[in-house]
Chains A and B, each alone.
Chain A
Amino acid sequence: MATDKPSQQVHQQAIPEAQGMAVAASGPAVDPDARPRSIGGIGLDLLTIAYFAFALFPIIWILMLSFKSQDQLFTTYFRFDPTLDSYKAVLGLSSTTESVPFMKYFLNSLIASFGAVAVSLLVGVPAAYAFARYQFKGANDMLFTLLSFRFAPELMVIIPVYVIYQKIGLFDRHLGLIWVYQLITLPLIVWILRSYFQDLTPELEQSAMLDGYNRWQALVKVVVPLVKPGIAAAALLAFIFAWNSFIFPFILTGSNAQTVTVGALAFMGGAKPRYNVTAAAALISLIPPLVLALSIQRYLVRGLTFGAVKG
């Protein structure tokens, strides 16, 4: 990662790779549809199903839980009388004072997570590009400093950040969250995108520069479109991590900027634990990352590949 290599490497691999997944279909994977189905094939399918049963069962169970009423919560397993009460509670449609303004938290999470990823992309793309393309004094130190934040336990900074935020008025503000989320999102994005840029032969943007474009235009018109899968994948991962972050919003927000992770837990307090409402809240909070993932699915697997692998 922090090794000192000449910035102008020629990766002849990069062009065919960037051209897409033409290789994928003909890759090492054997397409079982291309030949008669074997016993082994069915066995492997069963193994696949077994893993997904393990992976998806808890989610299906959470889904069921969200439709259970409070008095059937702990006495029923698969057969119960479904009710929408939990969703009503989450969406603020039930009139009880026990309701939590969850949709407000939902909006807060959207603002904070999107904001954090946007800021990280805005400052992270040029930085990643510079780290990949230029050799300059202190580059490695700066890069490693940036990355080392990912090694830091979040708790290590939380009290100092709390004090600062109180002093400068960022406590319980979206901007405060967006800023502190940079600890999560920025290293991830710089790390992945730097490898991306390194994978891309510099001659593409050099060619653009000779073709009459300035450096900025070359970056925007030639490089960015090529690393789109990487940007999409890195942004999605960063979004998921920011969206799921608990300790930062928990300590650094109050009622104004609180997020879904903290909000969903609020249903676990009170006179009795409302697992069903928490389940509904968890499922509703699943929607944004899911929608995002589905909309960029075609980039995802490819996007992760070449970014992540280069140290």
Chain B
Amino acid sequence: MSRSNRPLWMDALTARRSRRGVIGTAAGFGAAAFASKLPLGPVAAAQDSAAADITGDFNWKREDGKKIKALLNVHPYTDALKADLQAFTDLTGITVEYDEFPENNYFDKLTVDLQSGQGTYDVFMLGAYMVWQYGPPGWLEDMKPWIENPSATNPEYAWDDIYENLRTADNWSLKVGEPLGGGGQYALPWGFEANTIIYNTEVFDKLGVAPAETMDDLVALAATLTEKAPGAGFADMYGIATRGSRQWATIHPGFMTQYSREGGKDFELQGDALVPVMNSDVSVAFHEKWAKMMKESGPANWTNYFWYEVGTDLGAGKAAMIYDADILGYFQNQEGGSANAGKFAWHPGPKGPDGSLLTNQWIWSLGMNAKSQNKSAAWLFLQWATGKDHLTMAAIEGNMVNPVRASVVENAEFQAKMANNKNYLETFNAIIQDTKILFTPQPTFFDATTLWAGSLQEIYGGANAKETLDALVGDIVNAAE
């Protein structure tokens, strides 16, 4: 309905412009300093760390009889962990109690606990972006001293086995705008998602089309699929599903991946000042293209698409392809996982004009509460949970994909397990070197990116892209003040 009649809410959007206009003049925003490059919080020096208290030979039974509490998100990774917990208790004598919450509410729960400073949970799951929110207030334990202390960490831990881009993603100086790496290790990579194209081979084969190699091809391919698939026996099928809800999570998968490949940036350092640049010409052009693609070839009601609608539509045969987390396709492809299980294939997605395959990633990581009273026991748990043994078992017997350790990916059993997911491993290997966090680290990531998603929705609804993004930049600057 809205696909053809889009100007319905143009008026409302025009009104929005002037609403923001009251706050300040849009012209001034482009160059406005968003934040200066200052350290935000207490940068814990290595010698202050509780890790320094651990001396002598490494011993798994060092904290025998202790109890730690974990906050977990409902997730296949968590299921694999729960299934293996007894092994940890047998190994260390430590018991793990956990509370589990669904993802939509998980971070709210975690934030409230960390904010309260009560240290209820010794360890918890978090994403790399959360380090930017939780690190500066000093809520996260820096684990670098722990990793580097041979008395605390088992000799077989093999920290370097974890892909470097993933390790770097959880490592930050806590200075706004400063690139990742070169600071404290505020979380340990545990499992991750890279964003790729996943498509329905049955449709592609029947229509004789192949995955797109450029952004323009992707727009055209999606349109072709939308046009032809319903006539080819795929009732109600449309071209492409991506996330579209008013959440920061709408920006970070396919959108951010392709945005970066096309040369788009979120912030730029200008001198000592960090400046939002979502209103650059490259960015405006990309927003228009993306919105057009979703409007013409995406689902009706796109602005209400969370990750699970994206996965659901792929599985139900409503979406011909998705541009989202690679594992979202994996779960739909499992036997009994959806009506079209077994029909999906992976592709790295369109390259940038310069051939770029930059890929944004989401890393489920494990972190330690800086207020924990059981840091030594918590550390034993964390190194076990991110260690080779557990992750290998979890990837092969459970659904712990994608693995964060090269050794697990290279494991023959794992390769065999993934073989029936067409081109999954090929895609993985093609992008893994370019898979990193493509956002600029800064503590208002969630506010800014949520506003960003709202702006994308407005452009989708028909608003002028340039004006909307100018206003977005203004809002981000304002919010920081």
Contacts and interface: CB of A to CB of B under 8 A. Distances in A.
A97 B105 contact: no
A250 B105 contact: yes
A48 B267 CA distance: 58
A159 B116 contact: yes
A271 B116 contact: no
Nearest to B331: A271
A90 to B, nearest CB: 15
Contact of B116 (A73, A75, A163, A250): A163
A269 interface: yes
B105 A265 contact: yes
A167 B120 CA distance: 10
A241 interface: no
B317 A75 contact: yes
A51 interface: no
Contacts of B337: 70-71, 271-272
B82 interface: yes
B112 A265 contact: no
Contact of A159 (B75, B101, B112, B311): B112
Interface of A: 69-75, 97-98, 100, 158-159, 162-163, 166-167, 171-172, 250-251, 254-255, 258, 262, 265-273
Contact of A250 (B69, B76, B100, B109): B109
B339 A273 contact: no
Interface string B301-341: 00000001001110111100000000100011010111101
Contacts of A258: 99
Nearest to A172: B99
Closest 10 CB pairs of A and B: A269-B74, A269-B102, A254-B99, A74-B316, A271-B331, A166-B118, A273-B308, A75-B339, A255-B99, A97-B79
Contact of B112 (A72, A162, A268): A162
6 contacts: A74-B313, A100-B74, A250-B101, A255-B99, A266-B102, A269-B101
A71 B333 CA distance: 11
A270 to B, nearest CB: 5
B73 interface: yes
Contacts of A163: 116-118
A250 B327 CA distance: 28
Interface string B45-76: 00000000000000000000000010101111
Contacts, number: 105
B76 A271 contact: yes
Nearest to A98: B79
Given A74-B316, A251-B109, A272 B308 contact: yes
B4 interface: no
Contact of B100 (A75, A266, A272): A266
A266 to B, nearest CB: 5
Interface of B: 69, 71, 73-76, 79, 82-83, 97-106, 108-109, 112-113, 115-118, 120, 308, 311-313, 315-318, 327, 331-332, 334, 336-339, 341, 399
A269 B116 contact: no
Contact of A273 (B99, B118, B312): B312
Given A163-B116, A255-B97, A269-B73, A70 B336 contact: yes
A70 B308 CA distance: 14
A97 B84 CA distance: 11
Q: Provide the main secondary structure of the chain A interface.
A: loop
Contacts of B336: 69-71
Contacts of A272: 308, 311-312, 315, 331-332, 337-338
A271 B399 contact: yes
Contacts of A267: 102
Contacts of A268: 102, 104, 308
A97 B82 contact: yes
B123 to A, nearest CB: 14
A71 B116 contact: no
A265 B79 contact: no
B417 to A, nearest CB: 15
A234 B102 CA distance: 33
Contact of B102 (A72, A251, A265): A265
B341 A255 contact: no
Nearest to B75: A270
B98 A255 contact: yes
A255 B100 CA distance: 7
A159 B115 contact: yes
Contacts of A162: 112-113, 116, 118
Contacts of B83: 97
Nearest to A264: B102
Contacts of B100: 100, 255, 266
A248 B100 CA distance: 16
Given A171-B120, A255-B99, A71 B339 contact: yes
Given A250-B109, A271-B75, 5 more contacts: A75-B317, A162-B112, A266-B100, A272-B337, A273-B308
A72 B338 CA distance: 7
Contacts of A271: 75-76, 327, 331, 334, 337, 399
B76 A251 contact: no
A97 B398 CA distance: 10
A167 B115 CA distance: 14
A163 B109 CA distance: 13
B79 A270 contact: yes
Contacts of A172: 99
Nearest to B78: A270
A273 B331 CA distance: 11
Contacts of A250: 101, 105, 108-109
A273 B69 CA distance: 26
B196 to A, nearest CB: 17
B160 to A, nearest CB: 30
Contacts of B109: 250-251
Contact of B120 (A71, A159, A166, A265): A166
Contacts of A273: 308, 312
Contacts of A69: 336
A269 B103 contact: yes
A258 to B, nearest CB: 8
Kindly name the residue among A98, A171, A270 whose own CB sees the greatest number of chain B CB atoms within 10 A: A270
Nearest to A251: B112
Nearest to A271: B331
B312 A74 contact: yes
Kindly name the residue among A166, A254, A258, A271 whose own CB sees the greatest number of chain B CB atoms within 10 A: A271
Contacts of B120: 166, 171, 254
Kindly name the residue among B108, B112, B317, B332 whose own CB sees the greatest number of chain A CB atoms within 10 A: B112
B61 to A, nearest CB: 26
A70 to B, nearest CB: 6
A172 to B, nearest CB: 8
